[in-house]
Chains A and B, each alone.
Chain A
Amino acid sequence: EDKVVQSPLSLVVHEGDTVTLNCSYEVTNFRSLLWYKQEKKAPTFLFMLTSSGIEKKSGRLSSILDKKELSSILNITATQTGDSAIYLCAVPYAGGTSYGKLTFGQGTILTVHP
Protein backbone atom coordinates (compact mmCIF):
# COMPACT_ATOMS: atom_id res chain seq x y z
CA GLU A 1 0.00 0.00 0.00
CA ASP A 2 1.34 3.40 -1.00
CA LYS A 3 2.09 5.76 1.86
CA VAL A 4 2.81 9.49 2.07
CA VAL A 5 3.84 11.26 5.27
CA GLN A 6 4.23 15.01 5.68
CA SER A 7 5.96 16.96 8.38
CA PRO A 8 5.48 19.09 10.29
CA LEU A 9 1.71 18.85 10.57
CA SER A 10 1.50 22.54 11.41
CA LEU A 11 3.83 25.49 11.39
CA VAL A 12 3.47 29.09 12.56
CA VAL A 13 5.91 31.71 11.28
CA HIS A 14 6.16 35.46 10.79
CA GLU A 15 6.21 37.30 7.51
CA GLY A 16 9.64 37.24 5.94
CA ASP A 17 10.63 33.88 7.40
CA THR A 18 11.71 30.97 5.20
CA VAL A 19 9.96 27.64 5.69
CA THR A 20 10.71 24.08 4.60
CA LEU A 21 7.96 21.50 4.36
CA ASN A 22 8.76 17.81 4.10
CA CYS A 23 7.12 14.90 2.32
CA SER A 24 8.30 11.29 2.41
CA TYR A 25 6.78 8.48 0.40
CA GLU A 26 6.69 4.73 -0.02
CA VAL A 27 5.28 3.62 -3.36
CA THR A 28 5.53 0.49 -5.45
CA ASN A 29 6.30 2.20 -8.76
CA PHE A 30 7.38 5.80 -8.43
CA ARG A 31 6.31 8.06 -11.29
CA SER A 32 5.97 11.52 -9.84
CA LEU A 33 5.28 13.58 -6.74
CA LEU A 34 2.85 16.46 -6.66
CA TRP A 35 2.49 19.48 -4.39
CA TYR A 36 -0.79 21.34 -3.89
CA LYS A 37 -1.77 24.47 -1.97
CA GLN A 38 -5.19 24.62 -0.36
CA GLU A 39 -6.60 27.85 1.00
CA LYS A 40 -10.27 28.09 1.89
CA LYS A 41 -11.52 25.81 -0.83
CA ALA A 42 -10.12 23.40 -3.44
CA PRO A 43 -6.47 22.36 -3.63
CA THR A 44 -4.61 24.12 -6.43
CA PHE A 45 -1.71 22.49 -8.21
CA LEU A 46 1.79 23.85 -7.51
CA PHE A 47 4.44 21.47 -8.82
CA MET A 48 4.99 18.02 -10.23
CA LEU A 49 8.40 16.41 -9.75
CA THR A 50 9.62 13.39 -11.68
CA SER A 51 12.83 11.46 -12.18
CA SER A 52 13.61 13.74 -15.11
CA GLY A 53 12.53 16.92 -13.35
CA ILE A 54 13.70 16.81 -9.76
CA GLU A 55 13.67 20.54 -9.12
CA LYS A 56 10.97 23.12 -9.77
CA LYS A 57 10.75 26.81 -8.92
CA SER A 58 8.07 29.44 -9.16
CA GLY A 59 8.70 32.79 -7.59
CA ARG A 60 9.33 32.33 -3.89
CA LEU A 61 8.35 28.66 -3.96
CA SER A 62 10.70 25.86 -4.90
CA SER A 63 10.68 22.11 -4.55
CA ILE A 64 13.25 19.35 -4.79
CA LEU A 65 12.85 15.61 -5.14
CA ASP A 66 15.35 13.27 -3.48
CA LYS A 67 14.77 9.84 -4.99
CA LYS A 68 17.48 8.25 -2.88
CA GLU A 69 15.83 9.42 0.34
CA LEU A 70 12.30 8.92 -1.06
CA SER A 71 11.35 12.42 -0.09
CA SER A 72 10.68 15.92 -1.29
CA ILE A 73 10.86 19.37 0.26
CA LEU A 74 8.87 22.49 -0.51
CA ASN A 75 10.63 25.74 0.33
CA ILE A 76 8.93 29.08 0.66
CA THR A 77 11.20 32.10 1.07
CA ALA A 78 10.18 35.54 2.36
CA THR A 79 6.80 34.24 3.45
CA GLN A 80 3.71 36.44 3.22
CA THR A 81 0.34 36.19 4.94
CA GLY A 82 -1.08 35.00 1.61
CA ASP A 83 1.06 31.87 1.91
CA SER A 84 -1.09 30.73 4.83
CA ALA A 85 -2.69 27.50 3.64
CA ILE A 86 -2.61 23.74 3.85
CA TYR A 87 0.16 22.30 1.70
CA LEU A 88 -0.50 18.81 0.39
CA CYS A 89 1.86 16.29 -1.08
CA ALA A 90 0.66 13.35 -3.22
CA VAL A 91 2.00 10.46 -5.28
CA PRO A 92 0.13 8.63 -8.05
CA TYR A 93 -0.41 4.91 -8.25
CA ALA A 94 0.94 3.51 -11.48
CA GLY A 95 -0.70 0.21 -12.25
CA GLY A 96 -3.79 -1.39 -13.80
CA THR A 97 -7.12 0.39 -13.80
CA SER A 98 -6.12 2.33 -10.69
CA TYR A 99 -3.59 4.18 -12.81
CA GLY A 100 -3.26 7.79 -11.77
CA LYS A 101 -5.13 7.69 -8.47
CA LEU A 102 -3.36 9.84 -5.89
CA THR A 103 -2.34 9.03 -2.35
CA PHE A 104 -2.13 12.18 -0.24
CA GLY A 105 -0.21 13.00 2.88
CA GLN A 106 -1.95 14.50 5.91
CA GLY A 107 -1.01 18.02 4.85
CA THR A 108 0.99 20.76 6.57
CA ILE A 109 -0.98 23.72 7.92
CA LEU A 110 1.14 26.84 7.46
CA THR A 111 0.14 30.02 9.28
CA VAL A 112 2.04 33.22 8.50
CA HIS A 113 1.55 36.08 10.94
CA PRO A 114 2.12 39.71 9.92
Chain B
Amino acid sequence: DVKVTQSSRYLVKRTGEKVFLECVQDMDHENMFWYRQDPGLGLRLIYFSYDVKMKEKGDIPEGYSVSREKKERFSLILESASTNQTSMYLCAIRTGGSDTQYFGPGTRLTVL
Protein backbone atom coordinates (compact mmCIF):
# COMPACT_ATOMS: atom_id res chain seq x y z
CA ASP B 1 0.00 0.00 0.00
CA VAL B 2 1.15 3.51 -0.80
CA LYS B 3 1.76 5.56 2.32
CA VAL B 4 2.03 9.34 2.35
CA THR B 5 2.39 11.16 5.66
CA GLN B 6 2.25 14.85 6.47
CA SER B 7 3.92 16.40 9.48
CA SER B 8 0.85 17.98 11.08
CA ARG B 9 -2.93 17.61 10.78
CA TYR B 10 -3.64 21.06 12.20
CA LEU B 11 -1.39 24.08 12.41
CA VAL B 12 -1.98 27.63 13.63
CA LYS B 13 0.56 30.32 12.77
CA ARG B 14 0.79 34.08 12.94
CA THR B 15 1.07 36.47 10.01
CA GLY B 16 4.70 36.88 8.93
CA GLU B 17 5.92 33.58 10.37
CA LYS B 18 7.90 31.16 8.25
CA VAL B 19 6.00 27.89 7.96
CA PHE B 20 7.28 24.47 6.95
CA LEU B 21 4.93 21.70 5.86
CA GLU B 22 6.51 18.30 5.38
CA CYS B 23 5.46 15.36 3.28
CA VAL B 24 7.10 11.95 3.47
CA GLN B 25 6.55 8.87 1.31
CA ASP B 26 7.64 5.37 2.19
CA MET B 27 8.54 4.21 -1.34
CA ASP B 28 10.85 5.39 -4.10
CA HIS B 29 8.36 7.47 -6.09
CA GLU B 30 9.82 10.29 -8.11
CA ASN B 31 6.84 12.61 -8.54
CA MET B 32 5.52 14.51 -5.54
CA PHE B 33 2.96 17.33 -5.48
CA TRP B 34 1.66 20.04 -3.17
CA TYR B 35 -1.93 21.27 -3.52
CA ARG B 36 -4.10 23.63 -1.59
CA GLN B 37 -7.84 23.10 -1.31
CA ASP B 38 -10.35 25.86 -0.76
CA PRO B 39 -14.16 25.66 -0.82
CA GLY B 40 -15.57 26.06 -4.32
CA LEU B 41 -12.12 26.06 -5.92
CA GLY B 42 -11.20 22.39 -5.77
CA LEU B 43 -7.55 21.41 -5.53
CA ARG B 44 -5.00 23.79 -7.00
CA LEU B 45 -1.41 22.80 -7.67
CA ILE B 46 1.22 24.89 -5.91
CA TYR B 47 4.48 23.10 -6.79
CA PHE B 48 5.62 19.68 -7.81
CA SER B 49 8.87 17.77 -7.99
CA TYR B 50 9.87 15.07 -10.45
CA ASP B 51 13.14 14.12 -8.77
CA VAL B 52 15.56 15.14 -6.01
CA LYS B 53 16.34 18.87 -6.24
CA MET B 54 14.07 19.15 -9.30
CA LYS B 55 10.94 21.25 -8.99
CA GLU B 56 8.40 23.05 -11.12
CA LYS B 57 5.86 25.72 -10.38
CA GLY B 58 2.24 24.75 -10.47
CA ASP B 59 -0.70 27.06 -11.02
CA ILE B 60 -0.44 29.15 -7.82
CA PRO B 61 3.21 29.25 -6.65
CA GLU B 62 3.24 32.85 -5.40
CA GLY B 63 4.12 33.09 -1.73
CA TYR B 64 5.42 29.52 -1.59
CA SER B 65 8.68 27.68 -2.15
CA VAL B 66 9.62 24.00 -1.94
CA SER B 67 12.56 21.83 -1.08
CA ARG B 68 13.39 18.26 -2.06
CA GLU B 69 16.78 17.23 -0.74
CA LYS B 70 15.92 13.54 -0.41
CA LYS B 71 13.66 11.46 -2.58
CA GLU B 72 11.24 10.55 0.17
CA ARG B 73 10.69 14.06 1.54
CA PHE B 74 9.06 17.09 -0.10
CA SER B 75 8.67 20.27 1.91
CA LEU B 76 6.41 23.24 1.27
CA ILE B 77 7.62 26.55 2.70
CA LEU B 78 5.59 29.67 3.33
CA GLU B 79 8.30 32.33 3.57
CA SER B 80 6.06 34.86 5.32
CA ALA B 81 2.64 33.49 6.10
CA SER B 82 -0.38 35.62 5.30
CA THR B 83 -4.05 35.21 6.20
CA ASN B 84 -4.95 34.36 2.61
CA GLN B 85 -2.81 31.25 2.93
CA THR B 86 -5.24 29.78 5.44
CA SER B 87 -6.24 26.58 3.71
CA MET B 88 -6.07 22.79 3.59
CA TYR B 89 -2.72 21.64 2.17
CA LEU B 90 -2.50 18.24 0.55
CA CYS B 91 0.59 16.36 -0.55
CA ALA B 92 0.37 13.66 -3.20
CA ILE B 93 2.63 11.20 -4.96
CA ARG B 94 2.34 9.68 -8.39
CA THR B 95 3.20 6.03 -8.68
CA GLY B 96 5.32 4.83 -11.58
CA GLY B 97 3.85 5.44 -15.01
CA SER B 98 0.25 5.66 -13.79
CA ASP B 99 -1.71 8.91 -13.78
CA THR B 100 -3.13 8.05 -10.36
CA GLN B 101 -2.00 10.19 -7.45
CA TYR B 102 -2.24 9.17 -3.81
CA PHE B 103 -2.75 11.75 -1.13
CA GLY B 104 -1.55 12.32 2.38
CA PRO B 105 -4.05 13.15 5.15
CA GLY B 106 -3.68 16.90 4.70
CA THR B 107 -2.65 19.79 6.95
CA ARG B 108 -5.24 22.37 7.85
CA LEU B 109 -3.30 25.60 8.27
CA THR B 110 -4.78 28.67 9.92
CA VAL B 111 -2.86 31.94 9.71
CA LEU B 112 -3.99 34.55 12.24
Contacts A42-B106, A97-B56, A101-B58 hold; do A107 and B99 have CB atoms under 8 A apart? no
A83 CA / B50 CA spacing, docked (Å): 34
Contacts A100-B31, A101-B33, A101-B45 hold; do A45 and B102 have CB atoms under 8 A apart? yes
Can you give 14 contacting A-B residue pairs, CB < 8 Å? A9-B40, A32-B99, A34-B99, A34-B101, A41-B105, A43-B103, A45-B101, A45-B102, A88-B42, A88-B43, A99-B50, A100-B31, A100-B101, A101-B48
Contacting residues, chain A, for B35 (C-beta < 8 A): 104
Contacting residues, chain B, for A31 (C-beta < 8 A): 99
Pairwise interchain contact B99-A92, C-beta atoms closer than 8 A? yes
**Residue of A with least CB distance to B4:** A42
* Residue A58 CB within 8 A of the other chain: no
* Residue A21 CB within 8 A of the other chain: no
**Residue of A with least CB distance to B58:** A101
* A residues 66-114 in Cβ contact with B at 8 Å: 88, 90, 92, 97-107
**Residue of B with least CB distance to A45:** B100
**Residue of A with least CB distance to B45:** A101
Number of A-B contacts (CB under 8 A): 59
How many residues on the A side are at the interface (Cβ–Cβ under 8 A)?
A: 26
A42 CA / B4 CA spacing, docked (Å): 10
Contacting residues, chain B, for A43 (C-beta < 8 A): 43, 90, 103
Pairwise interchain contact A48-B43, C-beta atoms closer than 8 A? no
Contacting residues, chain B, for A41 (C-beta < 8 A): 105-106
Question: B31, B41, B42 — which one has the most chain A CB atoms within 10 A of its CB?
Answer: B42
Contacting residues, chain B, for A6 (C-beta < 8 A): 42
Contact for B90 among A42, A101, A107, CB less than 8 A: A42
Contact for A104 among B44, B48, B50, CB less than 8 A: B44
Question: A4, A41, A99 — which one has the most chain B CB atoms within 10 A of its CB?
Answer: A41
Pairwise interchain contact B45-A102, C-beta atoms closer than 8 A? yes
Contacting residues, chain A, for B98 (C-beta < 8 A): 48
